């Protein structure tokens, strides 16, 4: 839902178009930004009163590309292009342009919605075919070796932590 009603927007545009007020004075009297008033006036001039009503649209990739091509061909600004095509948010054109330069028309297509999935489950540790061919004694010997390495690393970590400088509490004197 829009922050401002269509009636409010209409009154601001009317006061500007009557010539009584500038963008800045019409904006300051009503507590909005002058750029917002400029955008509303441009929407009205391009699309009439329908340009000031609420609009929620999703655009396909070919439409986005045609908008960008016309903007580049005629050297239009984002705001002018948005008013021309009745796109409410001119800043989305910058995103379209960036995505097009990064990945072509495919990047302008619909993006997946929703929250990203949590981390995928970790793949199971593959068992090497050579492990299946080993005898029980060989596997037990390998397990013993791995346990010794693990114990060695734990002791090494404990020793290195013991040599770290200790923090002393300040004296209460």
Query: Is 21 a member of any domain?
Result: yes
Q: Phi and psi of 110, rounded to 5°?
A: -65, 140
Are residues 60 and 35 both part of a single domain?
no
Q: What value does the mean pLDDT take over residues 136-161?
A: 90
CA distance 60 to 101: 17
Ranked by mean pLDDT, the top range of 89-93, 104-108, 122-126, 151-155 is 151-155
Q: Give the global pTM.
A: 0.46
Please state, for a pLDDT cut of 70, what percent of the chain lies above it: 88
User: Would you give the end-to-end CA distance of the chain in angstroms?
Assistant: 65
In a domain, 116, yes or no: no
Which of 96, 94, 82 lies closest to 39 in space, CA to CA? Answer: 82
Measured between alpha carbons, how far is 151 from 85 in angstroms, rounded to an integer? 69
Q: What is the pLDDT of residue 1?
A: 43
Residue 63 lies in a domain: yes
Query: Comparing 19-23, 39-43, 51-55, 149-153, which segment has the lowest mean pLDDT?
Result: 51-55
* Distance between CA atoms of residues 150 and 89, nearest Å: 59
To the nearest whole percent, how much of the chain has pLDDT over 90? 18
Residue 28 lies in a domain: yes
Query: What value does the mean pLDDT take over residues 146-157?
Result: 92
In-domain check, residue 169: no
Q: Domains in the chain: how many in total?
A: 3
What is the domain extent for residue 64? 55-108
pLDDT digits (tens, 9 = 90+) for 32-44: 888 888 888 888 8
**Is pLDDT above 80 for 2?**
no
124 pLDDT more than 70: yes
Q: Are residues 26 and 61 in the same domain?
A: no
Residue 172 lies in a domain: no
Establish if 12 belongs to a structural domain: yes
């Amino acid at each position: 839902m829009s922050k401002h009603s269509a009636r409010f927007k209409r009154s601001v545009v009317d006061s500007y178009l009557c010539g009584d007020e500038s963008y800045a004075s019409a904006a300051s009297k009503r507590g909005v930004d002058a750029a917002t008033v400029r955008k509303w006036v441009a929407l009205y001039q391009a699309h009439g009163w329908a340009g000031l009503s609420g609009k929620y649209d999703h655009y396909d990739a070919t439409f986005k590309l045609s908008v960008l091509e016309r903007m580049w061909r005629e050297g239009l600004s984002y705001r002018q292009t948005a008013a021309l095509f009745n796109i409410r948010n001119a800043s989305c054109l910058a995103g379209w342009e960036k995505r097009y330069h990064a990945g072509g028309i495919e990047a302008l297509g619909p993006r997946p919605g929703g929250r990203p999935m949590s981390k995928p489950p970790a793949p199971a540790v593959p068992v090497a075919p050579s492990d299946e061919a080993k005898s029980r004694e060989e596997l037990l010997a390998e397990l013993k070796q791995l346990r010794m390495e693990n114990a060695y690393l734990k002791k090494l970590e404990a020793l290195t932590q013991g040599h770290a400088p200790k923090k002393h509490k300040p004296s209460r004197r």
